[in-house]
Structures are given as C-alpha cells and as structure tokens.
Structure 1
Amino acid sequence: MTRRLPATASALLLCLAPAVHAQPQPQADDRATVAALDRAYQAAVKANDAPAMARILADDFVLVLGNGTTYGKEDLLREAREHNRQYEQQDELAQTVRVWRDTAVVTARLWLKGTNRDGSRFDYKLWFSDTYVRTPDGWRYVLGQASLRLPE
C-alpha cells in the first residue's frame, strides 16, 4: 500500500521547493572583498591610521578580548590617534572567510609585535574572529573577538 501526502501538504511542498533552491549562495567575490577589507583593517591598525580604521568600523562596533574586556570604535580610534603602540607586526598568518548572505566572519591567527608607549615590548600571537555586515555603504566590521595570547 502506497501512502500519499494530503493534497494541501503536497501543494505546500511544491510552493516551498523554489524558495529553498532560490537562496543565494555565498559569492566568491564577497569572500575576496571581506578578506581584503580585513587585511586592510589590520594594515590600518599597524600604521595607526585612524581615518582608515573609521571607514571600516561600524559606529556600534564592539571588540571583546579573551579576558572579557570590551572596546568600542572610539576607544580603538583614540588608541590609534595617540600612537599608544608602534607595530612591527600586525599581520594575519592564516585567514578563513565565511559568508552567509549579508554577514561574513573572518577567522585568523594574528601576530602582534612592537613597542608600547611606555617603551615595553610585546610579541605574541592570538586567534580572532571578525564579523562583517553588508550595509548600503558596503561591508562594515561590527564585532571582533580575540582569544587570549597563544602559548609560544
């Protein structure tokens, strides 16, 4: 004996099928755009280039460090303008970008090396995830989360 779906269920499945298949797939150009934007952001941090950072960061941006400390857009721009750190390295060593429609997440290992304003040196690596959202003005960096420093 063959079981059949009620007519309303069959009709509903036929209506939903095009919607399921019509969902846009992540575009390779979106991944490339966000990857380049995240590398540009790291370069702007390395150069203490607050105007470039401001163009990439969303106004309500939040950075969460591995110890729970949070920073907003203005905190990071102030750090850059005051040149509180001079970077020798602020470079992504590995990067993966995943895109879901208008949201992208960059996961990467970052090497930070340089000198603090007080003369103390730093040299460490960490993992981070940066979340970008597509806006009418282009992709904006909305949320960053950084791990604790990685062991040597």
Structure 2
Amino acid sequence: MTATGTGTVVTVVFQHIYRYARTPGEIGALVHRIVEAPLDPVIYVHVWDRPCLSNRDPGGPAAPLVRLRVASYPELGWGALNWADARPGAVDGEVVDSFNPDADERTPRLRFDGEGLWFPRAASLPLARVGEAVEEYTRTGTRPTSVQWRPGHWC
C-alpha cells in the first residue's frame, strides 16, 4: 500500500484526538508533528484506505489490524517503535519492537504506554531514525525496513 496518490489516509491518534493526512504535504507535516512535537509521547499511526474512527464517531470504532506505535521524546533525542499486525496469517502475530544493537546502560528507557509499561532499552533509537521509519511507514503502509526489529509485546 502506498500512501501518496492512492487515496490512502494516514491517521495519527494523539491522546484520543484523531488527526488525518492525505496529501504529501499533510503527511510530511504530520510526520514532523509525530516525531518533533508530539501532543503525547506515545501515539498510534495507521495507514489505511479510509480514516480511522474513534468510539465517539458514528460507525466507530474503526481501525485496521495493523498499527505503528511511536514513542517520541524530542527533549531527549530518542524514540522507540512497536509494530503490530493482527491480520490473519501474520507471521508470529507480527508484534515487534525497534531494535538498537548499540544500546547500553546509558540508552534511555522510554514509556510504552500510559499504563506504566516501558520499552526495553534496546528498543530506543536516535530520533532521526524514528523519523525515517515513521516516514517510510506513511509512504508504504508496511513495516519499516529502515530500522531493525526484534520480538515485542502486545498492548
């Protein structure tokens, strides 16, 4: 699936607020917002053939079975990713976290969600790498290949 020029919609969920982007300019601005100025440190990104809907929308909730969770901490210069694919036949349930083979005890642990879960240190990536992966996902609709992955957890 390619986001640009196909009628695909990028939906980003910031603190239960749904933002949509359809054009390359809108998508670029939304990617910048996700990585450099998020309304919440942990957000969800969906690339689908229509806008996602919340449970407050008529006909909602509606979202694809694939999503990218992005933890972005511009003040630290770090972020982390979690890819989940719940479609039937997905490889191993396809839940993976970003993987930084150079992570060590100085690498920050980042929040996975608002419920007290944290990414492992090895999921933390320099923010520029997170931005590349988010841009790739919004362009392709598939799991980004610009970063390494390892088994993650559902949440």
TM-score normalized by the length of structure 2: 0.29
More helix as a share of residues: 1
More strand as a share of residues: 1
